[in-house]
Structure 1
Amino acid sequence: MTIRSSIPSRRAFLKLSGAAVASSLVGGSAFAQTPADRPLHGLSAFGELKYPPGFTQFDYASPDAPRGGTFVFQPGYWVHNQNVTTFNTLNSFVRTGDAPPRMELCFDSLMVRAWDEPDAVYGLVAETVTLSPDRNSFTFRLRPHARFHDGSPLTAQDVAFSYLLLKEKGHPDFVLPLGEMEAVEVLGAHEVRLAFSGRQSARSILDIVLFPILSRASLEGSSFDSSTLEPLLGSGPYRVGRFSAGRYVEYDRVEDDWAHDLPARRGLFHFDRIRVEFYADRNAAFEAFKKGETLWREEFTSRLWANGYDFPAMSEGRVVRREFPSELRPSLYCKALNQRRARFRDPRVREAIALCFDFEWANRTLFHGLYQRSQSPFERSPYRAEGRPSPEELALLEPLRGRIPEAAFAEAVTQPASDGSGRDRRLLRRASRLLEEAGWRRRDGGLYNAEGERFTLEYLVRDEVFLQFESSFMANLRALGIDARIRRVDPAQYQARKLRFDFDLIEVAYLLGATPTHDTLVQFFHSRSATVEGSNNFPGMADPAVDALVDEVGRAKTRQAFVTAMRALDRVLRARRDWIPNWHSAHRRVAYWDMFGFKEPKPDYFFPVEALWWYEEEKAKAIGKA
């Protein structure tokens, strides 16, 4: 990986090493309605942009909000190699190590998402993007005043260096989408072109333009893919401040942020400091919030939401508890059985294990009735299949008949409701029959196959809360003769084992994009990711028929065709039973110390409170937190 000439004196053509993965996708089809050879201020999957050229801010931004204060919290979501319970590296863009959440705030990208649109991106470092007629290359004109935090200019060389580096050494979140990027062409100090093979999904670019831009001068020749507690040089609205590995990290707002008045940034990022606290234990994190050591909390424990908020600050009105609508994005909250282990490859085994999970009992006795049973890896979205397949869905499914479960052609597969007892004998008898059909027999109190191997199952968790609400699930597995146990490990060990797929069963929770790209679906469901350590293909799915449907989603030229392909994919995933759906809620449950301002309604597709909310000094004084 080299840049062969300096700029602006000459053009540098950067050829990438490594063979591209073959695919049947046709590049550019989803941008058929987007004009080529014309500089554009934004892109969307199907040509639908809310904000016109020359817009001044996003509607959810608050340019008149005051700046100042410190926002202290434990995040409810994270990306790449990040870990919410500990950290040992400040490099969030590689596979190794545990990085702190929100490290991405320190880095800018070519474009950014609009949080009130399902799939639109608008220029940040890139002032414009121009599509080639074949939609296989994208030329970005960069803003000449873009700067890194040390004052050095951010140039096309840095962009090219970043994409090559992430393709070679980055986290799978970057490596997989960049698999079909064939070349980077530096056209000048502030102009760069990304060229693709033609086999990529057209919507790949909507993810790729969000990748971080790194400083070539600060990283060239260094060991990028190793853990480090030396912050990487960035250009974003925040930079790393004080930190103590595994305990806390502070991000300080950049006072001379080069992009603060650009339309994509104006009216966002109001806090002077964002501090992320780390707690290995949920109870410790809740106690810290009650004491005011953290100031904002999203509650994921139904017991606490129902009965735990009776502490003094709450009764005195200094803490507010409320619900916000969940984002309009697919929710994948499921159990994943690792099919890299032979005993989980038979779908009858996976169905039997799913039948042991009594949601109705858990929701009544543990969850206080706050949840609904999920049925799909695309829950809470228009991509969840309902009823029998439509004619349009059948047109995609029929060519796969004999290669996909027959159940995909009937009513969409759902998890059966139990009697709520925690041990529904009807469902357990059905599970026992399925295991017997799959070749597992009861003997000496256990379950054995023809080779005499006992059926064992280790449920890997990192939080003690699972020990309680999965008690019925584990008891039902044991009742079938499965040697089932829960193993709780520390966060670092959990992350490492998940990374290398060293587990039988784990919980997986992701909020997918409102219009999931082909690359996102590859990460979770495609054969290409099954052997890529650090990918999200936790069950180890490797089915050519599923691959074909994922690729069909990538080929969709209209939103309706996209929805149809996603529903067909959903039907097959549910019939294969690779993922055991858990539960979901229509709301985010949030508590916070009453010292913040915010604009309502919240954006429909993303809710980064640390970017949207602001500190109000008078409120803070009123509750004794100034």
Structure 2
Amino acid sequence: MQAVCHPKTALSHPFHWLTLLALCLLAAMPATTLAAVHKSHAIAMYGQPKYPAGFDHFDFVNPAAPKGGSLRRHLIGTFDSLNPFIPKGDVAAGIGAYVYESLTIRSDDEPFTQYGLLAQSMEWPDDRSWIRFHLNPAATFSDGKPVTASDVAWTFQTLMNKGAPFYSYYYHSVDHVEVNDTHTVTFHLKPGDNRELILIIGQLPVLPEHYWKDRDFAKTGLDAPVGSGPYAVSKVEPGKRIVFKRRQDYWGKDLAVNKGRYNFDTVSFDYYLDDTVALQAFKRGDYDWRSEMTAKKWATAYQGKPFDDGTLVKEEIHHQNPAGMQGLAYNLRRPIFQSRVLREALAYALDFEWTNANLFYGQYKRTRSYFQNSEMAATGLPSKAELKLLTPFRDQLPERVFTESYQPPKSDGSGRPRANLRHAQVMLKEAGYSIRDNQLYTPDGKPVRFEIMTSLPDFDRIVQPFTRNLKALGVDARVVRVDSSQYLQRYRNFNFDMVIASFPQSTSPGNEQREFWGSKAAEVTGSRNIIGIQNPAVDALVDDIISATTRGQLVTACRALDRVLQWNFYVIPNWYVDRYRVAYQSRLKHPALGAYVSLDAAIDTWWDSSAQ
């Protein structure tokens, strides 16, 4: 009901006229103005930002790092596109990190705090129902055109309508965007508790509307893009090499958030088709920096003259980042994998203890949680707070969610885990599976056969022992290796039976969980719900994560979700390591890195000592 104010009534009752006037003013004010509004240089998920307004630089950088020199990196595969925002093509490395910028930037020594980058400051109410960004008037694109609020709004609408599915899930709770003036833009959010959303809106990359005006955004191509970032593309050899050159006219070079970063004059990526060849090229001096993912290579290949004489440095960098989940992921869109019993039974064929000792030189730990290496991992039995979230779905969940603490199968390390295989055989027989002529059949008489798709030869030696153990169960599993382009295409289209998949986690999980596990995402080509999970309990728990208003609520919701994912056996957990393994030319130096460092992001704090 609309309030109506009558001046005469107010004047005839002088004792009450001030009260009436106040009520009239309140009735006329927009609802959003009733909540306290904050304006700051930074936004923290919980609590206050570590760095105050006017801070000089982040603690995890060297503000005196010299500028100059070069950084040469490598990748396996190829590329045919410089547009990282669409679900098409193989995108060249570095485009998103070096050419484009976002409204805000994350610090590496806080769980989740965003500081202004393109945005000079931000405003938001207590209920976080909207977020207003005040752009830095100095911000310009590499062609000299200013970055405006119109660019921000256009970028958002374009990514939502034509970008990769990731964006529509990440930002689906945004109701609309309002351009207030040339340098001010406001995002209005849909009703609901989503404390994280105003932070992740700040992660929106900003593209130049004028550049794309006469171009097809949904089309791949190799035209050098225009962005506001510290580098520009200087050379492209299609499929083989891309080079970025640091912009001398970069508008943001003196910002506190950029001090000690982007130190190299040039950054390049060379593409190789084979990692063994790439490793030899590194030792020969063809590129400068390498992160090693293969335990065997780390233990045996990083040695010889360049390491002995100090030309190359080998280093392990410990971190406190959640490891997330890596595992052999089932595609539930395949009818054969709809059986939870089968999914659980097949896990007994993976002998982690043998694999770690014989293939990984004891470097790994077994993954058991989707939030491994963090406080968000579920351990023991559910707490009272977790039960409050889980109990409404009790009739839809495996009973063990409530009665047992999940642990992946453990073996004797022999390579042929006979006790585990016998246990799996009993499980399958009780569920109605049968073996005829060494072939396992489902209860309805269909053979249990599937392919494990890979693109890297290093995975073959890991997966082959698993398939041999599966054969003892009567399961016909074949490893199929395809090239990187075909792998990416099939992966995006969910055209596989099983793959080795990773589900990385941040220190503050939120909206991205919808795309990992949400029912709607399972139906969208190119989404990250590659498993095909469609589970109402999972959807509800993801909503609980997103709506958490305290760190404690977030941790509780993550642990509850963890239990549901664990006991549904959506993946066969693999392994993790809580440190980065890097090797690099000795002329490269780096500061003490933040506890929550992303290695790819941290490389921007390194420098070339020969440039001094």
TM-score by length of 1: 0.89
Deviations 1:334-393 (A, max 9, x none): 221000111111111111111111100101111111111110111111111111112221
Distance 1:271 1:327, change over 3 A: farther
Question: Equivalent residue of 1:476, what SS?
Answer: helix
1:46 is aligned to 46
Following TM superposition, by how much is the alpha carbon of 1:103 offset from its aligned partner in structure 2, in angstroms?
A: 1.1
2:155 maps to 1:148: no
Aligned partner of 2:311 among 308, 314, 318 = 318
- Distance between the aligned counterparts of 1:538 and 1:430, measured in 2? 29
Aligned partner of 1:113 among 102, 106, 111 = 106
Question: Equivalent residue of 1:129, what SS?
Answer: strand
Following TM superposition, by how much is the alpha carbon of 1:178 offset from its aligned partner in structure 2, in angstroms?
A: 2.0
Following TM superposition, by how much is the alpha carbon of 1:87 offset from its aligned partner in structure 2, in angstroms?
A: 0.9
Question: Equivalent residue of 2:538, what SS?
Answer: helix
Following TM superposition, by how much is the alpha carbon of 1:202 offset from its aligned partner in structure 2, in angstroms?
A: 2.6
2:225 is aligned to 232
Q: Identify the range of structure 1 (133-142 vs 348-357) with the bigger mean alpha-carbon deviation.
A: 133-142
1:559 is aligned to 551
Identity %: 37
Aligned partner of 1:525 among 517, 542, 546 = 517
Preserved CA contact (<8 Å) 1:116 1:606: no
Show the 5 A alignment for 1:59-208. 59-74=59-74, 84-104=76-96, 105-132=98-125, 134-199=127-192, 201-208=194-201
Deviations 1:427-483 (A, max 9, x none): 111222333344432112212235442211100000111111222101011121111
Preserved CA contact (<8 Å) 1:116 1:605: yes
Residue segments in structure 2 that go unaligned for 5+ positions in a row: 1-31
1:469 is aligned to 462
Preserved CA contact (<8 Å) 2:108 2:594: no
Aligned partner of 1:304 among 297, 302, 305 = 297
Question: Equivalent residue of 1:530, what SS?
Answer: helix
2:596 maps to 1:604: yes
- Distance between the aligned counterparts of 1:425 and 1:121, measured in 2? 51
Question: Equivalent residue of 1:157, what SS?
Answer: helix
2:229 maps to 1:220: no
2:385 maps to 1:402: no
1:346 is aligned to 339
Distance 1:312 1:618, change over 3 A: farther
- Distance between the aligned counterparts of 1:539 and 1:562, measured in 2? 24
2:609 maps to 1:616: yes
- Distance between the aligned counterparts of 2:144 and 2:205, measured in 1? 17
Preserved CA contact (<8 Å) 1:36 1:130: no
2:526 maps to 1:542: no
- Distance between the aligned counterparts of 1:331 and 1:134, measured in 2? 30
Preserved CA contact (<8 Å) 2:321 2:595: no
- Distance between the aligned counterparts of 2:440 and 2:321, measured in 1? 43
Preserved CA contact (<8 Å) 1:180 1:200: no
Following TM superposition, by how much is the alpha carbon of 1:37 offset from its aligned partner in structure 2, in angstroms?
A: 2.3
Question: Equivalent residue of 1:324, what SS?
Answer: strand
Preserved CA contact (<8 Å) 1:106 1:235: yes
Aligned partner of 1:478 among 471, 493, 496 = 471
Amino acid at match of 2:326: Y
Question: Equivalent residue of 1:447, what SS?
Answer: strand
2:565 maps to 1:573: yes
Question: Equivalent residue of 2:461, what SS?
Answer: helix
Looking at CA atoms only, which structure, 1 or 2, has the larger radius of gyration?
Answer: 2
- Distance between the aligned counterparts of 2:214 and 2:426, measured in 1? 60
Amino acid at match of 2:153: A
Deviations 1:164-208 (A, max 9, x none): 001101112212122222211111110111112114623123222
Following TM superposition, by how much is the alpha carbon of 1:39 offset from its aligned partner in structure 2, in angstroms?
A: 1.8
- Distance between the aligned counterparts of 1:553 and 1:330, measured in 2? 18
Question: Equivalent residue of 1:402, what SS?
Answer: helix
Preserved CA contact (<8 Å) 1:297 1:590: yes
1:7 is aligned to none
Question: Which has the larger helix fraction?
Answer: 2
2:433 maps to 1:421: no
Distance 1:558 1:134, change over 3 A: closer
Question: Equivalent residue of 1:58, what SS?
Answer: coil
Distance 1:108 1:61, change over 3 A: same
Residue segments in structure 1 that go unaligned for 5+ positions in a row: 1-31, 76-83, 620-626
1:491 is aligned to 484
Count, aligned residues: 577
Question: Equivalent residue of 2:40, what SS?
Answer: coil
Amino acid at match of 2:158: L
Show the 5 A alignment for 1:246-265. 246-265=239-258
Preserved CA contact (<8 Å) 1:111 1:122: yes
